[in-house]
Amino acid sequence: MKRLVPMWIAIIAGFVMLLSAFFPITESLGETVGDVFNVVAAIAFILGAGSLAKVNLAKISRRDQGWGYAAITLICFAITLVVGLGKIGVPPNTQFPLLAWSGEKNADGSIFGWIYEFALVPITSTMFALLAFYVASAAFRAFRAKNLEAILLLSTAFIILLGRTFAGVVLTGWLPDWASGLRLENLSVYIMQVFNTAGNRAIIIGIALGVTATSLRILLGVDRSWMGSGD
């Protein structure tokens, strides 16, 4: 039953969405399924919160390696949830000054806004910026001109790296107009628009065919792996 009901929900919803794309008469049915999906997606946030708590609490209780990080995750999660839902420190909306909870949760002076501005933004930006350091280290150790393919890859990388900066203009900006196609900034655009586009289109078409085949298998109930392996 636990597998049969979700399977039939997926089959019916899938076929309704499929039909609504081809037959205008079934468009409203497709909209209804879309609405249901939106409600389920919103509920998934609660499910996600529950899952986060479950996984991290289990880690802490088992004293797994790095359980301290799990504790920090849960503490931060709880603080953000409480100050966000409780709108702690939020000044009331100027239109409704008597209603304490009428202000926006991230208004100036709110703790939620403070967490966003002084914790979330710097942390996420730092994580993203760290990539530059690891990419540089990886490039030094792994990017080797071992064979023809690697040489082609290296040459392309050099053209793109130089063409996407002012260095490209400095190095090849002197080329006359009739040879402007060889300027590094133009070469990098050419590589992106021709070679990259051709390769990516092939990948996109391949993925589309794969998605179609997988979708059909799910719609016909042949593929049930999406429900997980639990009973």
Give the residues lining the site for other proteins (CB under 8 A): 27, 30-31, 34-35, 37-38, 41-42, 44-45, 93, 104, 106, 116, 120-121, 124-125, 127-129, 132-133, 135-137, 139-141, 143-145, 154, 157-158, 161-162, 164-167, 169, 185, 189, 192-193, 196-197, 200-201, 204
Instruction: Between 69 and 166, name the residue whose CB sits nearer to other proteins.
Output: 166
Between CA 34 and CA 20 the distance in angstroms is: 11
Between CA 158 and CA 165 the distance in angstroms is: 11
Instruction: Between 61 and 155, name the residue whose CB sits nearer to other proteins.
Output: 155
Minimum gap (Å) between residue 76 Cβ and other proteins = 15
Minimum gap (Å) between residue 223 Cβ and other proteins = 20
Instruction: Between 81 and 136, name the residue whose CB sits nearer to other proteins.
Output: 136
Minimum gap (Å) between residue 157 Cβ and other proteins = 7
45, burial (CB in 10 Å: exposed 0-12, middle 13-18, buried 19+): exposed
DSSP codes joined into one string, 33-64? HHHHHHHHHHHHHHHHHHHHHHHHHHHHHHT-
Using alpha carbons only, how large is the chain's radius of gyration in Å? 27
Instruction: Between 45 and 174, name the residue whose CB sits nearer to other proteins.
Output: 45
Minimum gap (Å) between residue 104 Cβ and other proteins = 7
Instruction: Between 57 and 167, name the residue whose CB sits nearer to other proteins.
Output: 167
Q: What is the 3-state secondary structure (H, E, C) of 65-125?
A: CCHHHHHHHHHHHHHHHHHHHCCCCCCCCCCCCCCCCCCCCCCCCCHHHHHHHHHHHHHHH
Minimum gap (Å) between residue 109 Cβ and other proteins = 14
For residues 105 and 84, the answer to whether their CB atoms sit within 8 Å is yes
Instruction: Between 69 and 101, name the residue whose CB sits nearer to other proteins.
Output: 101
Minimum gap (Å) between residue 164 Cβ and other proteins = 5
